[in-house]
Amino acid sequence: MGAHTNITEEDRRSAATVTSSGSGHKFEIQLGHLCNNRCVFCSSGQLTAMKIARPVPLEPIVEALESARASGATHLTFLGGEPTIHKRFLDALGKAVELGFEHIVIFTNGVMFPHPGFIESVVALGNFEWRISIQGATEEAHNATTERPQSFQRILHGLRELKRRGQLITANMCVNERSYRSLPHYPELLKTHGVSQLHVDIVRPESAGERSEEYLGEIMPRYSDMAPYYEEMLAGFEAWNTDFDINVGNLPYCVLPKWGSRIHHGGQQTVTKSSDSTGLEDAMNKYEWQASLRTHLPTCEECVFRSRCTGIFRVYLELHGGDEFKPLTREQLLALDPQRLNFVLLAEPSLAPLRAALAAGRLPEGWRLRQEITEDRRRTIELELDHDSGQSLKVRFVRPGHGDMPILRTADADVEALADLGMPVDALRDVLEWLRDRVAEGVGETVALSDDAVERTLRAAVLSRGRQRVAFLAGRVCSRFDLAGWRLDGLRWPSSDTAEVLARGPADASVALRFNLGVRGNRSQVGVDFDIPASCDRDAARPAVEHLVTLLRDTRSAADAAASAA
């Protein structure tokens, strides 16, 4: 029971199969293991406590950034330890901006947030994504995990300041014995502070440092014990905002099958520069490395999730065994998931004939497939088709009953279509009828197009532009909203042509900012009004309405100026 779980040099060499060469991939760089926190699941705090960790010099950092950018990397993440305590962090960040990385993420535990001038110095260099390690949705859970008494309050300070400055805020958590009971509190915490995304991961034994099996057993609860808390958290996000980007990393799907669409194993190609006690190591593909640490049980081959599940950590199986992992059939998943939250997976059999025809190029004359975009978390499957006329068509499959303007419906999906306005009508009609036949083949029954399918498909393009304008207006308003005692919920769409942002104030006061979407000819129109509940004192709501009106005027002026410039 005294065995350690550190990764050997042989393990690292076997996983280091991808270099920083390539085009358009993500690049992560670790500025040493120095960290002020002592998170129970992480090696950085342990290495710092052992006085082994030290910062990487600036020169190799700059060299790595230059090499990554030259090889085509466009998305950069600064990691630690804690990257912001590196003495040359601002220099490294400035260099990344100078090199032209399109998207830069600062992965931080928030220790520097209260330091005078820190946030201002970073924001002066540009707009970034602040990915904040919130290791518990309550102060008790977070501080117990980081073992630093003031760490939660530092984060709250930073969240308020970043929101006030309109910065993009996302969050990350590693679930462990000290924190998993706080999971249900995340929806309220994040919507209060304008956080746009949450990634919840599980303890990775090989990233925990030099730990005994006894220690790992103490901080790694059984996945099935945590499942009810995951369930309550995910249901809370679904009730608040079905579009909120919440995802759970590396949890075996069979533990939480209803929410399989929120679980992911792996991701986009990411080249990581890690550091040991001596400096930067060779680049590696972190998702391939993570997958190499997991395995499947023999019964996993029968599971409906097998194609997307990379298995269970071997160390976890050594600690807890595999009795809790049971394969599921498609029929069992349907019974557990009547809302079709796992839409993409459940729709696969009925879309097989369509995909086969697309793969073989058996489309109507003049048509070809450009790409398919599958979004498990957003529960959509989208096909992009090009026509010889130079016009394009998007076909979107969504959950039954969830289509805004469906052109056909089946028991497995609603089907929507959106065409460029210049699309030849005959060509559009041909491809929609072809689509109907392939869908009917998949479900094994007759399927009818809506009588106005062509008109709906053309009108959808106009509405799409209107939706984009609404998203722009709402995003600008939400990022600039700053009224004492009030907060905004995120944008939601109660219907296909109505969106709203809810402002909540003291004493249950509330105001709904409503966007009404319309079409006139080939142009979309956006109207705005306010809805104050009858139970709300209008005088109490007036400051919020006046503040929102001011923000809307400024935002609309900016939007009109941008449209004129374009």
Query: pLDDT of 480-523, one tens digit each?
Result: 888 888 888 878 888 778 889 999 888 888 999 999 888 776 67
Confidence at 553, pLDDT banded by 50, 70, 90? confident
pLDDT for 425: 94
pLDDT for 287: 53
| Residue 201, helix vs strand vs coil | strand
Q: What is the mean pLDDT of residues 107-131?
A: 95
482, two tokens: 């700053």
Query: Which range, of 204-208, 344-348, 463-467, averages the lowest pLDDT?
Result: 463-467
Residue 110 · residue 158 · CB < 8 Å: yes
Q: How far apart are CA 119 and CA 113, in angstroms?
A: 6
Closest CA to 524 of 466, 455, 566: 466
Q: For the domain 462-565, what is the CATH code?
A: 3.30.310
**DSSP letters spanning 507-555:** GG-EEEEEEEEEEETTEEEEEEEEE--TTS-HHHHHHHHHHHHHHHHHH
Confidence at 441, pLDDT banded by 50, 70, 90? very high
C-alpha 151: how far from chain center: 24
Share of the chain above pLDDT 90, in %: 60
pLDDT at 565 over 70: no
Q: What pTM value is reported for the model? A: 0.78
Q: What is the mean pLDDT of residues 146-162?
A: 95
Start-end ranges of CATH 3.30.310 in the chain? 343-451, 462-565
pLDDT for 267: 53
Q: What is the mean pLDDT of residues 90-101?
A: 96
pLDDT at 566 over 90: no
252, two tokens: 């075996």
Residue 541 · residue 510 · CB < 8 Å: yes
CATH of 343-451, one of 3.30.310, 3.10.50, 1.25.10, 3.30.70: 3.30.310
Closest CA to 121 of 129, 132, 113: 113
Q: How far apart are CA 341 and CA 261, in angstroms?
A: 6
pLDDT for 1: 34
pLDDT at 143 over 80: yes
Q: How far apart are CA 11 and CA 98, in angstroms?
A: 35
Query: pLDDT: is 183 or 274 the higher one?
Result: 183
The three-point CA angle 417-423-424 to 5° equals: 120
Sign of CA dihedral 141, 145, 150, 156: negative
Q: How far apart are CA 491 and CA 419, in angstroms?
A: 25
372, two tokens: 């398919």
Q: How far apart are CA 112 and CA 344, in angstroms?
A: 41
Please give the biggest Cα pair distance in the chain.
74
pLDDT digits (tens, 9 = 90+) for 35-62: 999 999 988 888 888 888 877 888 988 9
Q: What is the mean pLDDT of residues 443-471?
A: 87
pLDDT for 2: 38
Sign of CA dihedral 359, 365, 368, 372: negative
Closest CA to 415 of 403, 427, 425: 403
Q: Which residues contact 512 (CB under 8 A, 6 or more apart)?
A: 500, 501, 502, 503, 530, 531, 532
pLDDT at 403 over 80: yes
| Residue 331, helix vs strand vs coil | helix
Query: Which range, of 25-29, 128-132, 145-149, 295-299, averages the lowest pLDDT?
Result: 25-29
Question: What proportions of the chain, in percent to the nearest 5, are helix, strand and coil?
Answer: 45, 20, 35
The one-letter code for the residue type at 527 is G
Give the number of other Cβ atoms within 10 Å of residue 372's Cβ. 13
Query: Which range, of 21-30, 75-84, 477-486, averages the lowest pLDDT?
Result: 21-30
Confidence at 549, pLDDT banded by 50, 70, 90? very high
pLDDT at 6 over 50: no
Q: What phi and psi values does residue 415 have, to the nearest 5 degrees?
A: -120, 125
Give the length of the chain. Answer: 566
Query: Which range, of 2-16, 391-405, 482-496, 537-551, averages the lowest pLDDT?
Result: 2-16
Query: Could you tell me the fold of the domain covering 9-336?
Result: TIM Barrel (3.20.20)
Confidence at 561, pLDDT banded by 50, 70, 90? very low
Pairing of strands 270-273, 263-264: unpaired
pLDDT for 367: 97
158, two tokens: 């930073």
Confidence at 245, pLDDT banded by 50, 70, 90? very high
DSSP state of 137: S
- 514: which strand partners? 500, 529
Q: How far apart are CA 91 and CA 54, in angstroms?
A: 17
Closest CA to 255 of 231, 238, 236: 231
| Residue 85, helix vs strand vs coil | helix
Closest CA to 166 of 499, 540, 527, 555: 555
Q: How far apart are CA 103 and CA 233, in angstroms?
A: 29
Query: pLDDT: is 255 or 212 the higher one?
Result: 255
C-alpha 369: how far from chain center: 27
**DSSP letters spanning 141-200:** HHHHHHT-TTHHHHHHHHHHHHHHTT-EEEEEEEE-TTTGGGGGGHHHHHHHHT--EEEE
pLDDT for 399: 95
Query: pLDDT: is 277 or 447 the higher one?
Result: 447
pLDDT for 206: 78
pLDDT digits (tens, 9 = 90+) for 321-379: 999 999 999 999 999 999 999 999 999 999 999 999 999 999 999 999 999 988 888 89
Start-end ranges of CATH 3.20.20.70 in the chain? 9-336
pLDDT for 276: 43
Confidence at 290, pLDDT banded by 50, 70, 90? low
pLDDT for 471: 86
Closest CA to 202 of 121, 272, 275, 263: 263
Residue 108 · residue 133 · CB < 8 Å: yes
